Amino acid sequence: MAIDVAGGVTSVEFDRMAKNYTRALVPVGSLEQHGGHLPVATDLIIAEYVTKHVAERVGSFIFPPISYGISVEHSPLFNVSLSCSTLINLTNDISISLSKMGLKKVIYVNGHHGNIGALQYVMHYFVDGGFGKDFSAYSLNYWNMMDVEFDHGGDTETSIMLAIRSDLVRMDKAEPSAIDRPKLKRTYQTLTNNPSSFPKLTGNGVWGDPRNATASKGQELLQQIIENTEQVILELDDL
């Protein structure tokens, strides 16, 4: 059962349900360009979709998303970005509040690569206190739950968006990366979080080629992502 806390739940209802449901899932996205064919909220849309379907499988509260992320790598292309410290403080404050409300786990379902650094050590910043002794916080990157290579506005991400919200995808505007750098792939992967790096590496803000993306491919990927995320969360419960 997925319990959407922002969907009308009262405090009395929350207290009652928290006796049986002690896990919270929080989607984390970004607002940034994804080429001319995908919406700027792509990362958030995917993270929310995955969160909803995973919560239905594992039984969990769903808390409102963190809609903004760390996206300075896309400047001067469109982005509305948080600083790393802001995202760290935000997730820590949310985690402490949920701990005080009696929950035992909060899992941040991340939809944006640039957020990894701020999210992966969420528990480290309060090792000397703040959390309840039985409380844990984690982050999961949805793309780590699939076997294909991740991209940005390419075949993988566009296929997923076609499966979730085809009405928001403009395939007539789909174009591949303007700069082909296959020999430098390992090198430029290390640069993708540096400010203003993405336009320099891709030419047009797209990493990959979205022109052959399909909803059927996206459905297969989403099934894999949701099943693997469910398995990881249930395994974390045993630790």
Instruction: Report domain extents, the chain.
Output: 2-237
Q: Please give the CATH topology (third level) of the domain spanning 2-237.
A: Rossmann fold (3.40.50)
Within the chain, how many helices (H) and strands (E) appear? 8, 7
Q: pLDDT at position 130, please?
A: 57
Q: pLDDT at position 124, please?
A: 76
Q: pLDDT at position 118, please?
A: 94
Q: pLDDT at position 129, please?
A: 58
> What is the number of other CB atoms lying within 10 angstroms of the CB of residue 11?
8
Q: pLDDT at position 125, please?
A: 66
CA atoms within 13 A on the CB side of 14: 17
Q: What is the pTM of this model?
A: 0.95
Instruction: Taking each helix axis as running N to C, give the angle between helix 42-58 and helix 155-165, from 0 to 180 degrees, rounded to the nearest 10.
Output: 60
Low-confidence residues of the chain, pLDDT below 50? none
Tell me whether the omega of the peptide bond preceding residue 64 falls within 30 degrees of 0, making it cis: no
Determine the length of the chain. 239
8 Å CB contact between 157 and 38: yes
